[in-house]
Chains A and B, each alone.
Chain A
Amino acid sequence: MSLRSPIGRVLGYGAAKEGVGHWWSQRVTSVALVILGLWFVTALVRLPDLSYALVTAWLAQPVNAVLMTLLVATTVYHSKLGVQVVVEDYVTTAGTKVVTMLVLNFLHVALGALGIFAILKIAFGASA
């Protein structure tokens, strides 16, 4: 028999059995995106134009490539967490909810993979 009290065993666990994991991840990615988002918008404004040559040369810079990779990864994760809450709120049928979430998860992972691959291809492929 465990010596832990019943309240001690359930504290920190909601019905989902994973406590504040989702909520906390959403906050952590929010803070990261404040920094990465402002960096990206500033960089966009500072580029003289968005021509092929300038954009690929900019993406080929190591720091830009890494920050862009982090931006895509964090955005996709943050978006997945946010959209999940919306689905949980408005899709009431269990089966539809699971299928919707599955499709959205696949889409998010695909978008993240495509975005990151594109950045890395430019970064590793360019001679600049």
Chain B
Amino acid sequence: MNSTTKHPRPLSPFWNYRWQYSNTLSILNRLTGCALSVGLILFVYWLIAAASGEASYANAQTVFAHPLTKLVLFGFSFAFFYHLANGIRHLVWDTGRGLERSAARTSGWVAFVGSVVLTILFWALVLAGGAA
């Protein structure tokens, strides 16, 4: 066989499978994970500001009070709850349970709707407590 001949290589499943809920939830887990890695910068910034004294903490508070930052924080909170809920789903799968089609579909819905509810509940409690 001529090694320079171009042979059609098999495509990754990613390219030829129909788009459906399972891969949507899967890629969302990865996206939220990456988002949370970035969000780690804001989290550490908050801690450093608190450790640097009252003036720098006041600066950080004005940064966090900005509507755009609020929006970003809202996004991070959803990413946190989704990654948490879907992460638990993955941990259950790792034990060999819940892999059947109907069970996986149900747990997918629970993870997604649950994370939306938790995000709303979290902000409702934070705003009610005046912490924001």
Contact = CB atoms under 8 A, between A and B. Distances in A.
A66 interface: no
B50 A41 contact: no
B34 interface: yes
B116 to A, nearest CB: 15
A32 to B, nearest CB: 11
A76 B1 CA distance: 49
A27 B131 contact: no
A116 B83 CA distance: 23
A41 B129 contact: no
A117 interface: yes
A47 B91 contact: no
A76 B128 CA distance: 31
Contacts of A41: 80, 122
A84 to B, nearest CB: 11
Contact of B44 (A34, A82, A115, A122): A115
Contact of A82 (B33, B58, B80, B126): B33
B34 A118 contact: no
Contacts, number: 85
A49 B37 contact: no
Contacts of B129: 45-49
Contacts of B58: 52
A82 B87 CA distance: 12
A6 B41 CA distance: 47
Interface string B115-132: 000000010011001111
B94 interface: yes
B70 interface: no
A56 interface: yes
Nearest to B129: A48
A48 B131 CA distance: 6
B97 interface: no
Interface string A76-89: 10010011001000
Interface of A: 27, 30-31, 33-34, 37-38, 41, 44-50, 52, 55-56, 59, 68, 72, 75-76, 79, 82-83, 86, 111, 114-115, 117-119, 121-122
